[in-house]
Structure formats: structure tokens, C-alpha cells
Structure 1
Amino acid sequence: MAMIKLGIRELVEFVLRSGDLNPQTDASTNTALAGANIHRRLQKQRLKDHPDYQKEVGLKTTVTMNDQSYSIHGRADGIFEVGDQAHIEEIKTSDLVFEDVPDSTLTLYWGQVKVYGYLLMKDQQRDHVTLQLTYYQTNEDKVTTQEQEWSFEESQKFFQSLIDEYESWLILRADMRTQRDQTIAALKFPYPAYRTGQHELAVATYKSIMLKKQMLVEAPTGTGKTISTLFPTIKAMGEGLIQRTFYLTAKQSTRRVAEDALSLMATQGLSLKSITLTAKETITFPEEVDIAPADNPFMLGYYDRLKPALMDILTHEQQITRDVIESYAHKHTLDPFEFSLDVSLFCDVIVCDYNYLFDPLVYLQRFFSEPDEDNFFLIDEVHNLLSRAREMYSTSVDEQEIKDLKPLFKGDKGFHRHVNALIKTFKALSSLLDDEHSDDLTIQPPLTSFVEELQHFNDFISDWLPKQEDSEELQKVLDAYFACLDYVRLSDNYGEEYRTRLFQTNRGLCVRLVCLDPSTFLNQSMHLGRGAVLFSATVTPLSYYQQVLGVDEDGITYQLPSPFEPRHQAILVANYIQTTYRQRDANLTRILTSIHTLVAGKIGNYLIFFPSYGYLTTVVGAYQQAYPDERVIKQEPAMQSQDRDAFLAKFKPDATQSLVGFAVLGGIFSEGIDLPADRLIGVGIVSVGLPGLNVETDLIRDYFDGTNGHGFEYAYQLPGLNNVLQAAGRLIRSSHDQGIVLLMDQRFSQPRYSNLFPPHWRFWRGVNNVQALSACIDAFWKQAKLPQTKES
């Protein structure tokens, strides 16, 4: 029977934690980013003081119960000798003054280092060690050190007490593992046959797990990429190659697809624990929103009710969705977000957003504090990951956000001294803009003095906050404090891939930390597991995405064929249309006529995409004037989910009158929607989709010009092309679908674009006038003979 692994920190916290949930001391991500840097700094200092100092020392032991072996493992921050006595150091970081750290938290700190002491003495046959707790108060750069002498006999009793307390949970884990592996062994692929490319993707996924590789795959629509990656990953889990899979997505709709795939396998007999994590702000109960933690019934006594709730949910549920979490959290009066994180420790598949792995400020430290080859990552829709990662590693602070604090807490001199100091710093930075006669300035070196001033402000506020009553005034302070805190934390990453922007807005000066290239950080995150499979229907060209997403140079990359007949769609390029900014007015009539020609070819539903809302509005107005009898709808700014659903509901099958929908490239209707069969029979795309000119995109262009000479391609052309491919991908959703993609920009015929067309576009054709377009459309619909019914 395969060994079951259990982390020392998880063991100690599970057994010893009790009482209330305290977000300030329990939120492990609060100081995770700063904590990692502080660990390295303190370890470097220890090495100077003790040349024999060993950092990050792995320690483990094996416990056997009921013929099942359990590996109890962890990593001590440091071990060094003083005379003939070994010292084991555990480093902890927090904003709290050491004297304010609750006894319950100190019990957990000491519990960890006590287990390390036992394992070291057991391995090295020592009678005694010195346990050292090093506490670093981040806002004061203050170090507090405490030591305890610890005998082998004491440590053995302590460790055994933990194991005795945890025994029923170890047995539960073993029983769940046995049942899981038995059902995985019997599990068959949940469809009668593999689609084109599906078996290839499943085999490649399994091999990437075996070889501990990262793999980037373009899997066109219809490949069934979710089941083709989840199925082999679960098979590898049953064989003991991995023990936990993270299915990471950008959107809720994609998470539902993963849930559906897991449900399908469950109907085939699969028994494993899966959970879908929901964002804290979304899943928090409404009655919690305006209550302080000290008064929140879902936090008070949280850890005293946690274990019965865990036993309840784990013995009754397999697929743990948001609804399931909320039901059990209500039943046991637990905060649903924290409860979901505690449940996830017992789960085999975790479906969640990108940020739980990649975001340096909110990643799940309970899973990713150190590399673990039991983890494997499936990363879906990765064409979205680059822009998301840039935002994760970028942040800003507004001058007005600080100025808004001036009227608050008028009698508090210390508060106003620190607010005024920060305002003065903003004024000094504004003078840099004045000196350059500019309202937008980019600086490459970090603003060290600005970061230091933010840190002074943060230090004061973190000490000041606990003394304040909850109020609207305090919430404004908190908003400013968190903005400053994020800026300081992300500044620790500052390197060649960063720039600092100073620019004026209607809120005064804004200081923005801009990450141009997050590839190094993404790579570091992916190396926290055994490997990763990154996939999307549109990652063309693969070499570009491999570089910008930080996929290992020796990673696997390949492109799967489309499972659909390429001649079921016509790809037409209007060579007579120019959509550059200067040519738009002159080409308006040609665009209107081309759209009308597309729609006149066959009654049905059409989507026409534009690079910006402004351009869309101009064309829609002109189109409705030119063709007042046609049914037209358009995307509106800031549409809510109900508005989005109402828009899509108008695309009905068996249309008796054509409908023309106008939408924005890269927007809510250009990806993640499914209009199969004749709910959509034509897509028009105006322009090559270049992002609008702006300062930060130009910074990206200049950065890549300097690193690889492909600045325009990396900043503008390839992101724009991805938007085009995603929008075109709304058309063919099944083997029965047919339709026309009309690309309205002569640049598509140029090799720099046409050479990047996916293989299933290989029959694309350029047309030189509207008459030729009309002839091609007529010819396509005459030869289209397959019934347009939704695929079962």
C-alpha cells in the first residue's frame, strides 16, 4: 500500500489549534511574501555567525497503523551547533508585537519546532537539543528569540500525543485513499471512444507526470481538453505518481466544466474528494460582512467546531462545490471561506482560480510554502494567464487615497504626522513630473525612498489599528493601508522586468509598479509541484507562449489538430478593407457593405467584433442607418450577468429573420460562450485586433525589443491575434456546426499573420471586392449539406 504523506505543520496545527478564527494571526498569506525574504535574510546572517549553519533541513519519520505507513515530514528553517549541542531554529514573521501574539498561536509555533527536535534527536541519536523560536516583527524590523531545552524523552511523548490525537484522521485518510485508488484502477475513459487528438493529449499528460515535465498544448475547440487532462492525471494519482491535482482556471464557467468532468467520472464509479474554491468576497455569508471578527459567530470558537464539521462533510460528500460548503458551514456555524480551505487539505482534486497558486499576495501557503512533488497542476485557458499575472505582480498607490485621510481622526497627532509625511513624499515625486514637463513619467530603478516612506506609514498603522473602534473612517484608513502594504510587498520582486510609472490622474499623482514580464515568477510557482500541463484552444505561436508564461525551456510543446472538418467553415479575408486608425473613415462604407453581404448570404445569427467600443459604436450607428430593417443588438459597457444572458438568449435556433450582434474583441462575448449549431452561423472580425495604444503596452514593447527584438509582436500583434482567434472560435463548437468567418482587414493576408493561422484555417481565401465576397459566401452555403442541429 502506497505511503501517505503528512506535513508536520499540518499535523501540529490540526491537533493543537483551538478557539477563535483570528484573521490577523491565522491568515498565513498576510506576510507570506515578506516572510520568505526575511527567512533568507536571517538565514544568511546565521551562516555568518555559525559556519556550520544548515538552512531548510528536511526531516521525516514513518508511522505505521493498521498495516498503513504514513510519512510525517517537514523542513526546519535552520540547524546549527553551539558546542556539542544542536540548535533547531524555527522562524516566524508577523506584523504583531511579540507580546501581543496569542498564546494559542505560540503553542503552534513551538509545536512545530518540538516535532523537528524529536525527529533530529531520533535520526542522530541525541539526548537533548535546544529549540529556538525566532520571531521577526515585520513593521519594526525587530527580532525576538526564545529558547527551550528539550530532551528526547519529552519529545517522544509529545510526538506520540500528536499521533494519538490524529490517529482517527490518519485512518480516515487511509480509508479514503484506498477507496480512491481502487475506483481509479477500475475507471475507464467515460466516453465510448476518444475524439481526434483526445487520446494523444491524454497520453502526453500522463507522460508529463511521469517525466516531471511542464507541457504547453494548443487543444482546439472540440478536443475535450478538460476530460483529456483530468482523466490521465487521476489515473496517475491512482498509481501513486502524485497525490493532489490543482485544476486552475481564469473563469467560473471553466471551473463548472471541470466540475462536470468530475461528476461524469463519478457516475462511472470514481470515488475521490474534490473541492471547488470560491473567492472569499463571493462566498462569505452576508451576515458576516459588517461584523468584526470578535463578534462574528462564524469565527468565534471556529476551531472548536472544525473537526466535527470536517468529519461530517468528509464522510458524506465526494464532490464539494460551493453549495455544499455553504450548507455544511451554516450547519456547523463556520466561516465558509476558511472552512473550504480546511476541507481542501483532505481533497484529491482542487478546482480554483489562478491566484491560489500564482498571486504572490494571496497564494495558498498551506500548500505552496515549499515544493511538493505530490502536487500536479492543470492550468486551463492559459491565453488569459499572462495578463492576469501582470496584474498580480503590479500595483499602485494614489495620492488622493492618502489625502483623503487628512480630515480623519483630527485629534490624533501621530496619525497626522505619518499621513502628512506621506503626502510630502508624493509632492516630491510630483516635482519630478514638473521637471520633465510631463504628466506621465516612467522610471526603471526602484523608488527606494518612496518604498521606505510607505513602510514607515505601514509600521505606524499596524500598531495603531488595534487601538481603534470600527467605523467608516477606519475603513478608509484600511483601504489606504492595504494599498501601501501591497506596494511594499511587491517591491521585493523589483528587477529588470519592472518599471515605475508616475502619472497624473483626476485623483492626483498615481505611483504604479508595473510588471512587464512575469515569466520568471510563473515558472517559480509551477516548480512548486511535480509538473504542469498548460492548455488552451489558442496559444499560437507556441514559442511565444512558452517564453512569456515561463514554461521550462525543456518543456513539451505541441499543437493538436482540430477534431472538426476544416471545410465546415469558410475563412475569408477582405483584402479591400483597411482598418488602421487613419483609414477607418474611408473604409466605413466597405465595412458596412461587407457585413451586410455576410448576413444576406443566409438567414441566421451573426456576431461582428471590433477592437474597441468606440469603433463598434460608430459602425453600429452607420449600419442601422444603412440597413434599418435588420435586427441589430450590441454589447453595452459594464454589462451585468443578467444582461449578458439576455444578449445571448436572442441567438435562437431556427431563425426566421437574421440577427446581427456587435461585440468587442477580448470582451465577454468573444470567449467563454457556446452558441452551437445554427444559434451562430457567421462571425465577422473588423481589424487585426491590436490593443489600443497606451503607455504600459508601449513599455512592454520596449522591454521585449531590448530582450529579444520582438517588441511589437509580443506587445501588440500576438495578443491581438489571440483575441481574433478566440472570437472566431465562437463559430464551430461541434462536428455538425457550419459557418463563415469574415476577417475584415487586408493585413490578415500578409505572411506575418497568415503564417500564424491555425492548421484548420489552411483553406482560407482572400477576396478583393464585395462581389467576390458575395460569390464565396453563396458557394459555401450551396455546398453546405450537413443538418444544422445541435450535437448530442
Structure 2
Amino acid sequence: MQVDWEQRRVRLSVRELANFALGPGAGGSGYSGRGRAEIGRQWHQTLQDRAVQTQATASTEIKPEVTIQAIWSQGGWSLELQGRIDLLLREGNRETLREIKTVRRPLPEDPTALRDDYPEYFAQLAAYVALRELLDREEGITRSAELVLVDIDEGLSQTVRLMEDDLDLFHRQVQRLVDFLDARHRRRLELRELTREAPFPDWRPGQPEAREALAEAATRDALLFFQAPTGFGKTGLALDFALDALQSGRCDRVIYLTGKSTGQWQAGAQLAGMRPEGPTGFRYYQLRNQAEHDPEGRWIGHREGDVWQARWRERATAIDALLEVGTLSLTEVQGLAHQWEIPPYEISRALLPFCEVWLGDYNYVFSPRHSRVFTEQPGFDPRQTLLLVDEAHNLASRVASGWSRNLRAEDLSVLTAELQIQGASRPAIRALQNLEDWLQQLDKTERIPPEGVAELRGLLARCNESLSHTWLLADVLTPFALELLGEIEGAYQTLERATLQILEWAPQKGQLRLDCLNAAPEIAQTLKSYQQVVLMSATLEPRDLTNRGLGLPPDAGWWIEAEAPWREGAYTVAVDTRVDTRYRQRAQSYGITAESLIELTAGGPLLPVVAFFSSYAYAEAIKRELEARAPHLVVVIPPRGIPLSEMSDFLELALLNAHLLLLVLGSGLSEGIDILGGRVERAVVVGPALPEVNPVQQAKLEAAEAGQSRQEAFREVYLLPAMLKVNQALGRLVRGPHQHATVVLQGRRYADPAYQNLLAPSYRGGTVIANRQDWDAWRNDL
């Protein structure tokens, strides 16, 4: 659907109109269910051919797939509708429109029950009749219409004639769409009149200049890169810029993405502070994943779209009142789910069309399996949407992971058994069994040879083809089956996508991994579809590598570099070369690391010392060493998988009670929570978190060596990701004027220019500590 708000014109298909509805649906499984569409196409072709062969005579003209385009005006809106009538039969002055649809139920059936269960089919046919009447007013023509329903299990069909009352379905759908457009149009006008709070109570040096630079750059390029130090306030500035675009009518919607739920939560808190009180303020919503909505699994396996729709319509008038404060919390949505008997995730999805700002994960825009959650929302148009991508240094790797796939032989066996029970076709079962057999024979290997990949591609193609010829009802399949069907379909799509670089390998016998090494062309295509994009991070450099990872030319986009003068001299840095943090050598230095942390807690401010490690295992090893050497100290490591709702409380408690807080580089607590600034003055980073050496990393290295030296490729594949995590962690220690942090970079690698030069300028150089005497001298000067 494309909307021109100024001209009050809408362009959409007849099918879109017939299916238009606000409220929850039954999707979200990750499996597209192409089988139904393919079977429908086959039956269309069969019945069209049969009609031409059996009903065409000298006096009867039959036209299949008749294109129809017309403008329907209602309520001050012009709807540009287009579609294709399956069959148009003309005999003398009698004209019959015939629409063919597939169902999976015994036929014949009571026409009233069919009208109740498939209103969209009758609405689509009624639309064709109304548009045909509008375009062709030839006198003396008697026009009728009929819906041909085909039961795909038995091949039986039933023809239902369109009645006069059925035409009201079209008019009701048009009115439903017009009401939605009117409501959105009113919101646009209200937004132009609203006031908003400044993003900050007091503007810091550099912030006004950066905000002005954003506004100026937006007039010059559709793609903006916004680099600013951690703690600078770039999220607030970008959201203020976006709200200005909404208010002025330059865009219809704003999408804010980041890869960590903590960042989304903080963006929501920023918006809450900027929103004026009252019902006319902007609305925003953070869409979390299904697991967070339903942690106890109450709604798993429930897919009752029609029932949910009916319950939603009963309460639709309450939505505006619910959003008077701008948004709803997850707890509030879960409460509504209990009252309304609608899954909380479906309520969240249904709230999106009523909100101007959407907050979510990268997947909702860039993942081939999850982007439909956003793109299929009523009224969504990327060409009228401003896209903000925070922590954009993580975007390339996250999108690549979205194209990666995993299949196991034992899972295929379970899936096949379930599909047999559900009546899947014999070719589909046979294709899945052949894929299962291939997986069972697959031995562990770091790279499947080309002939094996070719065989795999053929097997997946046959699975995809045969599944597309069988209609699987999502209502009766388990979530496991739906997920695995989506994985099989995704594996086929991944291998067929020529733009992707894929490693096909087997980490163990019977398990297939398709790991996407580079999805840059896909990222570039998505970015270009949006009206404007702002990519922001504290660590976007080196610029050429950032652009390459996004599939963009080296000079693409407009670069904005924010300056934060208050960060000058905010860090005191030392490089401790006494420790070797390499995996096989690090245990020999556990004692030095533990003693260093113990001594940093003594004689310093009454604030905890924070230590960052490359892994949980490393952090836990040092925790055991600390407990043995200094049992009086309170040493805290966050539990693995700590929920978003508990992260901030955990950190607050640790900052109040702990002597030592041990965090993992790259985790949500080291990168996604911004409360360490001013609360920590001493920190140790124990070695850079280099990616694990494995077949995927080695394949990335080989791919990166094309066109550059091995040293440059190693820098790109191993060093850059590691040092980005270090820069991100350290940036969160100083987030405002008058804050200071003393940092020890512990590990010999930090003295290596290859690593040192990848540190942000504020963390380079410093005192080199080579022995105990150097350490004592440096510590005495603190």
C-alpha cells in the first residue's frame, strides 16, 4: 500500500483491500507457507484451462486473468485499485466474473458457513464486480459473479454465486480502510502541532553542533553516518532529529533499531522524556521477541487468528485511550492478554499501526524470516520511513547471522513423522526423507566439497518444490515443525541467493551448517529502500571497512563526526605487559591479574573496580583466584542469560555492594547498559576478545584475502571485532563532563602497534608496565 497524504490518494491491490484488517493475526512462525499459494496457482490454471476447453463456444467468450484497474473515490480518498479477475465469461449481454480459491475442508458446505469463514474471498470478488460496474456501464449488460472453491484434499469444488448482500463486503472493506486512513491523517496533523521536550535538560558542548549537522546533512544525502563517542547523547540527538521529521511531515514513521534489548529500552526511556503529556503526543512502541512476551509458554501452539481478530474488534475503540501516555509496557500488554484472551505478542504487533515510532531488533528490518512483522503492517511504506540504526558497527555480522541456517538429521526425522500424520503429500515426505538420509551420511568436515554442495542444493530444491505443492495448515502443526520448515525453506533461499558468501560445513556428524560470511549486498538493497537512513555508533571507523561490510561504495553516505571536548584527558591509561592473555598461556598469569585487581580496590575511591574479560570462563577463573586470595572482597559476575528486566537492577546492586565487578566484553552489560559512567573510576580490560578460531572465521579470513594481504585480512577479520568490543566497553566509563576513568589494558597484545592503533584515540599510549616495580610506581602515582 502506497499513500500520498497530501493528495489523499492510495495505491493498493484488490487482494490487499479484501484482506485489510487491523488487529492480531496467526503468523509469526517463520515459515512462509508457500504451499497454499502454489496449490492455488495450480488449481487456477487447471480450472481456467478446463473452462476454456469446455465452455468456450462461438457465442461464449472466455478471458482468463483479466487485468482491472480503477480509481474508487470514497470519503475524500482516491483508491487506485488493481487486480486480475481469474475468469471473465461473456455470452451475449450476460457477463460472469469467476474467482477461484482453494480451501482445505469437505465440500459442498453451507454457503452461509463459507461466507463466515472466508469473508476476504467474497470481498475480493465483490470488489471486482464493483470496479467492473464502475468501468463498464454498457446498457443492457446483466452482470453476475461466482466464487469457485476447491477442496485440495479431494479435488471437489463448489460454486457459490455472489448475492446482493455480498457486495456490502466490498463497501465495508473500503470504509474500514478509509477510517484507518482518516485516523492516520488526523494523527499526522496532530503531530504537526505538538511540542516536544528537548532531548537533554542541559545541552553539553558539541551537542548543538551535532544536531545542526544532522539537519544539514539530511538535505544532502539519504544515507547518513553519525559517529559520536559513547555517552555523547547520539541516541537523543537522532531521535530529536527523527521527531522533527515526523512533525514536519517529511516522513510518516520512524524505526529505531539496535541489536541489544538494553539499547531499545534506553531509547524508549529517551522518548518517554521527550514526549509531552496528553493524547496528542507522539506514540512509540518497543517490539520484543515472542519469548519475552510469553516466558511461561502459555500461548505456544495457539493460532486462532479469526478468533483473535473478533476479540480485538470488540476492544478496538479502547486503543487510543490505552496509548494516551504514548506507549504500553510489556507488563501492561501481558495484562491485556489475560483480559482479552489474545496472545501478548499478537497484541504488540497489532499496536504497531497506531504508533509513529517503532523500536526493535535488526531482525525486524533485515532478516528474511522476521522482516514481515514490520513490512506487512497496514500502511507501512519504507519510502516514507526514517530508519535509525544504532550500534551500526554490529549490523553486518548480525544480518549475516540472519541468513545462516542449521539442520540436523534427527530433527528431520521428527518433522517427517509429524507431516505424515498431518497428511503431507508423498513427494514431500520422500523429499524430506532423502534430505534426512543425506544428513545422516554427512561426516564432520570443515568444508563440504562442491559436489556435495551441488547434491545438497538439489535435495533442498526438491524439498522446497514438493512442500510448495502440499498445503500445511499452521493451525495443526507444532511450533517445532513450523520452525524447522522455515529453516528448510531458509536453507534453500540462502544457497540460491547468489549475492551471499556461504560456508557449507558440518560441525559434527549429521549436522549441516550454512554460515553466511558476508551479506553486504542484501544490506545495501534494504538500506536503499528507505526514505532516509541514519547509521550511528561510537565505532564506525575505519570508514572503508564499514562501507564494505554494508555493501556500499567507499565514499557512499554523508559522514558526521561529533566532537566531545570534555573527553580530552578523561582517561588515564596503562598497558600491563606482564600478562599473557593468549588462551594456552593465560592460566600462568591468573595470579598477576588477581593481585592487580585486589590492589586496585585498596586505597582508591569507594567505588567498585570493573574488570572486562574475553569470556565467562576467563572471568570465572579469576573470580575463583580472587576468592582464594582475598575472601573478604565481594566479587560479582552477572549470571548468564540475565533477563533485560533484571539487568539494570543487578548493576545498581553490584555498584553499591561489590568491590569487584567482572563483566564480559561484548555482552549487554558491557555494551548495552549506560549507567557505569561516573559510577566507576578504575577498570581493567584483561586481553582483547579475539574471535574464536574455527572454520567460519577461517573462511572469513580466506574471503577477506581476496584483494588484500593476509595481514590486512587478519586485521579485518580478527583484530577489528576484538578492539571494537574494547572501545565500546571503555567508552561507557566516561559519559559526561568531569568524569574520569583510570584504565589498565592488561595483556602483551595491547603493546603491539597492530592492536594499539585500533584503540580509540582517548585510550592510546599511556604508561607501559613491564614488571612489578613498574606496577608499584604507577599505582603509587594514582
**TM-score higher than 0.5:** yes
Match of 1:447 in 2: 453
Provide the rounded CA distance (Å) in 1 between the counterparts of 2:85 and 2:763.
58
1:610 matched to 2:613? The reply is yes
CA deviations on 1:326-368 (whole Å, 9 max, x unpaired) are 4555555444333333332232111222211111012126636
Provide the rounded CA distance (Å) in 1 between the counterparts of 2:18 and 2:424.
41
1:347 pairs, out of 330, 355, 368, with: 355
Match of 1:360 in 2: 368
Q: Is the 2:573–2:742 contact (alpha carbons within 8 Å) kept by the matching residues of 1? A: yes
Q: Structure 1 residues 502 and 528, CA, compared in 2 at 3 Å: closer, same or farther?
A: same
Q: Is the 1:570–1:763 contact (alpha carbons within 8 Å) kept by the matching residues of 2? A: no
Q: What is the letter of the counterpart of residue 618 of structure 2?
A: Y
Match of 1:195 in 2: 204
SS in 2 for 1:671: helix
Match of 1:174 in 2: 185
Q: What is the letter of the counterpart of residue 655 of structure 2?
A: K
1:374 pairs, out of 357, 381, 384, with: 384
Q: Note the C-alpha offset of 1:246.
A: 0.9
Provide the rounded CA distance (Å) in 1 between the counterparts of 2:498 and 2:571.
47
Q: Structure 1 residues 704 and 250, CA, compared in 2 at 3 Å: closer, same or farther?
A: same
Q: What is the letter of the counterpart of residue 527 of structure 1?
A: K
Q: Note the C-alpha offset of 1:589.
A: 4.6
Equivalent residue runs for 1:262-661 within 5 Å? 262-267=271-276, 271-284=281-294, 289=299, 292-293=302-303, 299-318=305-324, 319-321=326-328, 322-364=330-372, 367=375, 372-404=382-414, 422=432, 425-428=435-438, 433=443, 439-443=445-449, 447-454=453-460, 456=462, 459=466, 463=470, 477=481, 480-504=484-508, 508-550=509-551, 553=554, 554-562=556-564, 564-600=566-602, 602-603=604-605, 604-635=607-638, 637-639=640-642, 648-653=651-656, 659-661=659-661
Q: Is the 2:221–2:557 contact (alpha carbons within 8 Å) kept by the matching residues of 1? A: no
Q: Which runs of 5+ in 2 are unaligned?
A: 42-64, 90-96
Q: What is the letter of the counterpart of residue 718 of structure 1?
A: L
SS in 2 for 1:338: helix
Provide the rounded CA distance (Å) in 2 between the counterparts of 1:174 and 1:339.
23
Match of 1:256 in 2: 265
CA RMSD between the two structures: 5.3
Q: Note the C-alpha offset of 1:393.
A: 0.6
Q: Structure 1 residues 372 and 740, CA, compared in 2 at 3 Å: closer, same or farther?
A: same
Q: Note the C-alpha offset of 1:422.
A: 4.5
Q: Structure 1 residues 287 and 116, CA, compared in 2 at 3 Å: closer, same or farther?
A: same
Provide the rounded CA distance (Å) in 1 between the counterparts of 2:665 and 2:479.
37
CA deviations on 1:91-143 (whole Å, 9 max, x unpaired) are 99999899999867976468569879988998999999999999999x99xx9
Q: Note the C-alpha offset of 1:703.
A: 1.5
Q: Note the C-alpha offset of 1:378.
A: 1.0
Provide the rounded CA distance (Å) in 1 between the counterparts of 2:150 and 2:768.
66
Q: Is the 1:444–1:499 contact (alpha carbons within 8 Å) kept by the matching residues of 2? A: no
SS in 1 for 2:518: coil
Provide the rounded CA distance (Å) in 2 between the counterparts of 1:720 and 1:444.
32
Match of 2:44 in 1: none
SS in 2 for 1:661: strand
Name whichever of 364-373 and 348-357 sits farther off: 364-373
Provide the rounded CA distance (Å) in 1 between the counterparts of 2:616 and 2:659.
19
Q: Is the 2:435–2:460 contact (alpha carbons within 8 Å) kept by the matching residues of 1? A: no
Match of 1:726 in 2: 728
Name whichever of 515-524 and 28-37 sits farther off: 28-37
SS in 2 for 1:503: coil
Match of 1:666 in 2: 666
Provide the rounded CA distance (Å) in 2 between the counterparts of 1:528 and 1:32.
25
- Aligned residues between the structures: 731
Q: Note the C-alpha offset of 1:264.
A: 1.9
SS in 1 for 2:406: strand
1:761 pairs, out of 760, 763, 774, with: 763
Equivalent residue runs for 1:14-53 within 5 Å? 23=26, 30-31=31-32
Provide the rounded CA distance (Å) in 2 between the counterparts of 1:495 and 1:136.
39
Q: Structure 1 residues 427 and 327, CA, compared in 2 at 3 Å: closer, same or farther?
A: closer
Q: Is the 2:18–2:123 contact (alpha carbons within 8 Å) kept by the matching residues of 1? A: no
Q: Note the C-alpha offset of 1:633.
A: 3.0
SS in 2 for 1:669: helix
Q: Note the C-alpha offset of 1:580.
A: 2.9
Provide the rounded CA distance (Å) in 1 between the counterparts of 2:338 and 2:13.
28
Provide the rounded CA distance (Å) in 2 between the counterparts of 1:77 and 1:679.
65
Provide the rounded CA distance (Å) in 2 between the counterparts of 1:498 and 1:104.
47
CA deviations on 1:129-184 (whole Å, 9 max, x unpaired) are 999999999x99xx9xx999x9xxx999997665445444443333222211111x
Q: Structure 1 residues 722 and 328, CA, compared in 2 at 3 Å: closer, same or farther?
A: same
Name whichever of 451-460 and 119-128 sits farther off: 119-128
CA deviations on 1:586-625 (whole Å, 9 max, x unpaired) are 5445434443443345143112222233333444434444
1:223 pairs, out of 224, 229, 232, with: 232
Provide the rounded CA distance (Å) in 2 between the counterparts of 1:413 and 1:16.
31
CA deviations on 1:492-519 (whole Å, 9 max, x unpaired) are 4254511211232xxx411111111122
Q: What is the letter of the counterpart of residue 195 of structure 1?
A: R
Identity of aligned pairs, percent? 21
Q: Is the 2:300–2:479 contact (alpha carbons within 8 Å) kept by the matching residues of 1? A: no
CA deviations on 1:374-413 (whole Å, 9 max, x unpaired) are 1111112223333322221111111122345688799999
Q: Structure 1 residues 428 and 173, CA, compared in 2 at 3 Å: closer, same or farther?
A: closer
CA deviations on 1:710-761 (whole Å, 9 max, x unpaired) are 4312321111111111222332233343221111123323333333332433
SS in 2 for 1:714: helix
Q: Note the C-alpha offset of 1:690.
A: 0.8
Q: Structure 1 residues 171 and 413, CA, compared in 2 at 3 Å: closer, same or farther?
A: closer
Provide the rounded CA distance (Å) in 2 between the counterparts of 1:440 and 1:586.
32
Q: Which runs of 5+ in 1 are unaligned?
A: 41-54, 83-88, 782-792
Provide the rounded CA distance (Å) in 1 between the counterparts of 2:359 and 2:336.
19
Q: What is the letter of the counterpart of residue 498 of structure 1?
A: I
Provide the rounded CA distance (Å) in 1 between the counterparts of 2:752 and 2:11.
56
Q: Is the 2:575–2:746 contact (alpha carbons within 8 Å) kept by the matching residues of 1? A: yes
Name whichever of 753-762 and 737-746 sits farther off: 753-762
Provide the rounded CA distance (Å) in 2 between the counterparts of 1:688 and 1:610.
8
Q: Is the 1:216–1:542 contact (alpha carbons within 8 Å) kept by the matching residues of 2? A: no
Provide the rounded CA distance (Å) in 2 between the counterparts of 1:514 and 1:652.
39
Provide the rounded CA distance (Å) in 1 between the counterparts of 2:219 and 2:761.
29
Provide the rounded CA distance (Å) in 2 between the counterparts of 1:515 and 1:93.
38
Provide the rounded CA distance (Å) in 1 between the counterparts of 2:770 and 2:739.
27
Q: Note the C-alpha offset of 1:684.
A: 0.7
Q: Is the 2:225–2:536 contact (alpha carbons within 8 Å) kept by the matching residues of 1? A: yes
Provide the rounded CA distance (Å) in 1 between the counterparts of 2:340 and 2:522.
39
CA deviations on 1:522-563 (whole Å, 9 max, x unpaired) are 222222320211212333333322321345652123432336
Provide the rounded CA distance (Å) in 2 between the counterparts of 1:414 and 1:732.
59
Q: Structure 1 residues 90 and 623, CA, compared in 2 at 3 Å: closer, same or farther?
A: farther
Match of 1:695 in 2: 695
Q: Is the 1:31–1:94 contact (alpha carbons within 8 Å) kept by the matching residues of 2? A: no
Q: Is the 1:222–1:562 contact (alpha carbons within 8 Å) kept by the matching residues of 2? A: no
